Structure 1
Amino acid sequence: MAKFTPHIKSENIQIAETILLPGDPLRAKYIADNYLDDVVQFNAVRNMFGYTGKYKGKEISVMGTGMGMPSMGIYSWELINVFGVKNLIRIGSCGAMQKELKLYDIIVGMGACTNSNYASQYNFPGTYAPIASWKLLEKAKKIADEKNIDVHVGNILSSDIFYNDDSEAIKKWINMGVLGVEMEAAALYMNAARAGVNALCILTVSDHILTREETTPEERQNSFTKMMEIALEFAE
């Protein structure tokens, strides 16, 4: 029996237990076209492309999630709770927030600070700290070491705000040693924790908050190969 939601219509095509989640659906297509064999497309609803294929003979899926925690919250919840996905790896871009980071550096999000109200749905009696699954975090570091890829492991910021009216806000996160800012990981980490599955966020520095350096949209879509190669090794 076909499974479907308002946002994912798989048409009886299997979604693998391990899935890569770039924000940009065109990055999902790029990965499917350039890295996977025996590819089938399982989703095109709202042009949020999703594919299942094989990497080195092992099954893996890849799907776009869009921008922001509401979008990530929807897609990751449905993938986990309707389609049975167990390992969700966000692969995205971020803005670097520390001097030692450079364009194209890789950040692995051990924890995800946030200015979002996403956690309010759980009615916590305190402040919840969204963190990555140790199983995936440990594996990502091991894969990176084997490939001689330097990675920075630490805290990231999942922000609801791209154009912040408070120009001083980002400095407070920088002062706490937060490595980079993106917009989705905290929601992914919370959905995964609530369901008892695994999640990890791997990021490539696409721009730098301090130096104002930045990559082009085309480079963000097609050139973040080190991040993709680490994530693809999660295929099972």
Structure 2
Amino acid sequence: MSNSLPKAARRGLAEESADRIRDAIFAGHFPPGAPLREVELAASLEVSRGSVREGLALLEREGLVRSAWHRGTTVVEVTAEDVEEVYTVRAALDRLAATTALRRATADELAALDRLVDAMADELADGGDGPRLLALDIAFHEAVYAAAGNRRLTRAWHAVRSQVRLFQLRRIALGHAHYRARVVAEHRELVALLRAGDAEALARVAEEHVDSARRGLLAHLSRVDG
């Protein structure tokens, strides 16, 4: 535990503690279902237990951790029910973000999306590390939401973003091939449709992009549970 987390840069800062714990969860130091003990985290981060407690509360609001009476705080499990709920919400948000961005995205913003897809292709050519591909994937969708320019929509995305990333990391851990085979082509298609101005096709493809991820993760989970 002592070497798994970098030291918090500033003592007593709940946001800093939340950032470090979140990073550790995404790095796999705390897998789904793992306990998050305040005393151990405070010692590792060299912050107060109060800062850790507040940081965990922030992560609970993101849906990344769960607290229960007499059971403490744990990283959320990745269950089929949770997957259905999160990806259903994400599909609706991504559809709205894409169709809104279609009307508002600038040439520079579209070029930035192209560069992110190119970076995905380069990563695949170098071997295709799953977490790095996913970081580019998340950055791509962040850029689409930014291009849409709707602050409330972006806040709604941020409310599920950490869960999406955790669930996608679980998908990659259970089976990388499905993700590698689709990630570049699906994102290139989204950029092409943003340029083409076909709102109906873009909405359909944006939803299918999310549904493909949902189906892939559920298939992996069913094999593990079976």
Same-fold call, TM cutoff 0.5:
no
Higher relative CO (CA 8 A, sep ≥ 6), structure 1 or 2?
1
TM-score, structure 2 normalization: 0.28
Which protein has the larger Cα radius of gyration, Structure 1 or Structure 2? 2
Give the helix-richer structure, 1 or 2: 2
